[in-house]
Amino acid sequence: MKPAPFDYVRCANVPEAIAALSGDEGAKVIAGGQSLVPLMAMRLARPTLLVDVNDVGLDGITVERDVIRIGACTRHRRLERDPVIARVAPLLQEAAGLIGYPAIRTRGTIGGSLVHADPVAELPTVLVAAGGFVVVRSGAGTRVIAAVDLFTGFLDTTLEHDEIVEDVLLPVAGTRHGSSFCEWSPREGDFATAGVALAIERDDDGRCVALGAAACGLASVPLDCSTLLAAVLGETSASGALLRQIARVMRADLAGDPDRADLVGLLAARAVHRAFARSDERSAAAA
């Protein structure tokens, strides 16, 4: 379990890293290395050059009116513990705390998790549910990719070889926002067998006016479930009838492994229940 031979360069800034990537078709960016290194040890990944971006200055969190901008090298542990994230992106905060174990979260980065594009990972699911974006840079400049356009398949994205994720953009949660990430795995810290990320916004009357949801574990990419959960729109509470309907609809309409579809339905019901409860708490705190 030793990696195949590879070269390594530690870059001081983004242009350097892009240049290094451009110069070697087998190059791969490394930040936290929590997914890449095990794959290399098993020789399932065989990069010829590792481009280390830990020093290029891509970590940090800034809130810009209704958008939160998170540097690609920001560690999961920071997302989990940062009070700003807890306030403006509670779904991201909860999901970050569900990734692996503290040691993994201390090293792993948001950008790394997104471009690794593991279909059972938490953060890609959050990006789809929240309708977020990634800002990527190459020698040709920057472009912004919407979550639904980023993931194309198992461990596969629309990123070009010489593109580096610089930032992740997520909407700032409203005053009546409620969210929940519910997943099931055989053991704490495992990759989820199935999971649901869900965020709602409510109006002053408590009616759900916006909803974003995605599920992991069912397909080779995080699955946008917002349409399947449309019944939640306009509701003022998570009634038992609503929750049962959600589970039934999702179990019936989701393709793939019926066991996982069953779990996703149940987890979606739980996510809706918790999102309403948290929205109630947030509204009460704001009042």
Partner 1 sequence: MIGERTERREDARLTSGRGRYLADHDVPGLAHVAILRSTSAHAVIRGIDVSGATALPGVIAVVTQADLDRAGARPMTHRLPLLGVLPLEWGLLARDRARFVGEPIAAVVAATRSIAEDAMELIVIDEEQLPAVVDPFVALAPGAPLLYSEWGTNEFFRMTSLPPVLGDVLATAPYVKQFRLTDHRIAALPLEGHGVQAAPDPATGTLHVYASNQQPHQLRTVIAETCGLDEQSVRVVAPDMGGGFGNKQHFTREECLTAMLALITGRPVRWIQDRTEGLISSIHSREQVHDVTVGYDDSGKVLAYRVDVTANVGNPILYFSGIGPAIVTVGALEGGYDFGVVGFDLRCVATNTCPIGAYRGFGQPQAHFSSERTLDAIAVDLGLDPIDVRRRNLLPDGPRPWITGGGARIDVGPLGPHLDALVTEFGYGRWRDLQSEARADGRLVGIGVSALVQGTAPTQYGVAGRFGSYESAAVAVLPDGRVTVAVGTKSQGQGHETTLAQVAADVFGVGVDRVTVTDGDTAQLPYGMGTWGSRTAVMAGGAVLRAATQLREKMDRIAAGMQTASAEPPTFSEIAEEAWWQTHRLPADEEPGLQQTVVYTPGNTMPVPDEHGHMNFDETFAAHMTAVAVEVDPETGDVRVLDAVLVSDCGVVINPMVVEGQHQGGFAQGLGAVLFEEVRYDDDGQPLTSTLVDYTIPEAPDVPRLRVVQRETPSAVAGGFRGVGEASIIATPAVIAGAVADALAPLGVEITSTRLHAHYLRRAIRAAGYTPDASAFASR
Binding site for partner 1 (CB under 8 A): 1-5, 42-43, 184, 186-191, 193, 238, 240-241, 243-244, 246-248, 259, 262-263, 265-266, 269-270, 272-274
For partner 1, give the closer residue by CB, 137 or 273.
273
* Smallest distance from partner 1 to CB 48, Å: 14
Q: How many CB atoms lie within 10 A of CB 56?
A: 24
Q: How many CB atoms lie within 10 A of CB 2?
A: 8
How far does CA 76 lie from the centroid of its chain?
Answer: 11
Kindly list the strands in the beta sheet with 27-30, ordered across the sheet, starting from the edge strand earlier in the chain.
Answer: 7-10, 49-52, 27-30
For partner 1, give the closer residue by CB, 139 or 189.
189
Contacts (Cβ under 8 Å, ≥6 apart) of 143: 135, 136
Q: What is the b/e burial string over 103-138, where b = at least 16 CB atoms within 10 angstroms of the residue's CB?
A: ebbebbbbbbbbbbbbbbbbbbbbbbbbbbbbbbbb
* Smallest distance from partner 1 to CB 116, Å: 14
For partner 1, give the closer residue by CB, 175 or 239.
239
* Smallest distance from partner 1 to CB 268, Å: 8
Strand pairing report for 49-52 and 27-30: parallel
Q: Counting beta carbons within 10 angstroms of the beta carbon of residue 34, is it exposed (0 to 12), middle (13 to 18) or buried (19 or more)?
A: buried
For partner 1, give the closer residue by CB, 83 or 240.
240
* Smallest distance from partner 1 to CB 7, Å: 14
268 near 196, Cβ under 8 Å? yes
For partner 1, give the closer residue by CB, 67 or 191.
191
For partner 1, give the closer residue by CB, 115 or 263.
263
